[in-house]
Structure 1
């Protein structure tokens, strides 16, 4: 009886050896990652972090979320982002947070020390320094935003056209760029403002005319690499025009580097705008621009230090925050830093 059962048992054993084994029945190999547990990543996070996105939109949002996770691991970059958001919130809510009208003068209370009535003291005309800082941030940071909105598209377009077209266009556009780069930014801005007359609008135009060449240089360097890629060649083979190739395929690939450069350059734009105001060529009194506030209070810096130090701290904090934010974005967006 046992002799007849032995062949049947051997056949059953061989059949079981050929059947597929459930994954959860196999012990983890040495060094192999454990299988994903049910419920470990669910909902929106699982949808963003999936390795097999179902659409281009899901893949794009997944890349953005992963970039945010990498950016969040940088404490200095998060600190810079926090300072910038706080500053923007303060200046947007300036009418609600200001304790006094920034233009009202109280000559009987001039150069008062910080107190409960005037949190950061008063200036030489009795105006509240805290209120003037809030409204001055609107002017200073507004000038920075206006300059960026003007120079970033111009520099990006000039650099991409020069790098993609090459030949005569490249030489012509880059020689114009070299002319602007040959002069220090502040000196050239002073010359433009002197020609146009002092004022906020003149300062914005002058800074914009001197700030676009570095963006053009960066975009051209990126384009020289991108135009040799296979997908650009495939787009040309399908009959895409040069304008379409530049706008749809080259420009988007240059944006990450441009965003990093713009963020890092915002600190120098702030310093240039404040410098023009300090020299009397930017915002004019009684506008509460940070550079103008320092210029009018510099003769009191030894005795009534708060009048000049407070706007100086605001300029320093804004410049440092943008630098920290730019470093964090460079680590996330620049593939060479990964």
Structure 2
């Protein structure tokens, strides 16, 4: 059965659009499988999402339960990564913290990717005053460092997870718009676009039905590579007290409360720092691999 499915997916002359789409996805998967770093990044990312999804089953303690008699305890058989200044299990807080951090990252991507894609595709396709107006707005946002601008937005709102998500989203969309615009400029004068226009297709249908899908491969690569910077920005806001608020087990906030113990009880800050480092590195590995697989132009 598997051999039959494999032959169906690798058929050089697909008989339907469905078969062609699945064959394309299968070839991408085969190419990704031959990239060791990409596969390692994919496995790590999936493990962290699995950890976030099944946090109640994987945590060994209540992440909010305090035990002052065991405060700042080193790693042991009972507390795998030690305890913090309130005697809370660090491992359990890392597990539950993955829900907060990865939830923020996914929420930001869901917001910024469609916005950036729409703005870039519209600007690149229509050109003229529309392109100039949208790109000047984009330049204004790009002129400020992302973290500084996010801090300004959060300061204008109420510190918290929702405010952090909104602030990061408002500062993260410009690169996506620039990328979508560049891709649109390369295809907007193509023959198939001109042919579709001759059949009476509207400009908006051309933009969202034909041009936007062509921008998706590069957009997927950009999203994957940008995940690490979104994670670091989210952790930075938590570290500065502008993101998730205590007692929420957010990785950046955990480092903020542990910084005064970094020399004597190093494990308190090292554990959330290692989690941020590992998942950010994994997204970078996966993004580089997807770039090699999805970008036909290469470097």
TM-score, normalising length from structure 1? 0.87
Aligned match of 2:277: 316
Superposed CA deviations along residues 45-73 of structure 1, whole A, max 9, x for unmatched, are 11111112111111111111111111110
Among 198, 208, 226, the alignment partner of 1:265 is 226
Aligned match of 2:291: 330
Aligned match of 1:198: 159
Measure, in 1, the Cα distance between the counterparts of 2:43 and 2:100.
20
CA deviation after TM superposition for structure 1 residue 197, in Å:
2.4
Among 285, 288, 306, the alignment partner of 2:246 is 285
Measure, in 1, the Cα distance between the counterparts of 2:14 and 2:152.
54
Is the aligned partner of 1:211 residue 2:175?
no
Measure, in 1, the Cα distance between the counterparts of 2:158 and 2:15.
57
Asked which structure has the greater CA Rg, the reply is 1
Measure, in 1, the Cα distance between the counterparts of 2:203 and 2:22.
29
Superposed CA deviations along residues 16-38 of structure 1, whole A, max 9, x for unmatched, are xxxxxxxxxxxxxxxxxxxxxxx
Measure, in 2, the Cα distance between the counterparts of 1:80 and 1:87.
11
Superposed CA deviations along residues 227-264 of structure 1, whole A, max 9, x for unmatched, are 01111111101000001101111000000000000000
Measure, in 1, the Cα distance between the counterparts of 2:3 and 2:238.
53
Among 127, 133, 155, the alignment partner of 1:172 is 133
Higher relative contact order (CA 8 A, sep 6+): 2
Secondary structure in 1 matching 2:297: helix
Measure, in 1, the Cα distance between the counterparts of 2:4 and 2:178.
44
Aligned match of 1:254: 215
CA deviation after TM superposition for structure 1 residue 42, in Å:
3.7
Change over 3 Å in CA distance of 1:300–1:177 after alignment to 2: same
Measure, in 2, the Cα distance between the counterparts of 1:226 and 1:143.
34
Q: Which moved more, 1:54-63 or 1:290-299?
A: 54-63
CA deviation after TM superposition for structure 1 residue 75, in Å:
0.3
Supply the RMSD in Å over aligned alpha carbons: 1.2
CA deviation after TM superposition for structure 1 residue 92, in Å:
1.1
Among 182, 205, 213, the alignment partner of 1:221 is 182
Secondary structure in 2 matching 1:320: helix
Secondary structure in 2 matching 1:335: coil
Runs of 4+ in 1 over 3 A off after TM superposition: none
Equivalences, count: 299
Q: Which moved more, 1:55-64 or 1:142-151?
A: 55-64
Aligned match of 2:36: 75
Is the aligned partner of 1:239 residue 2:200?
yes
List aligned pairs for 1:18-97, cutoff 5 A. 42-97=3-58
Query: Any unmatched runs of 5+ in structure 1?
Result: 1-38
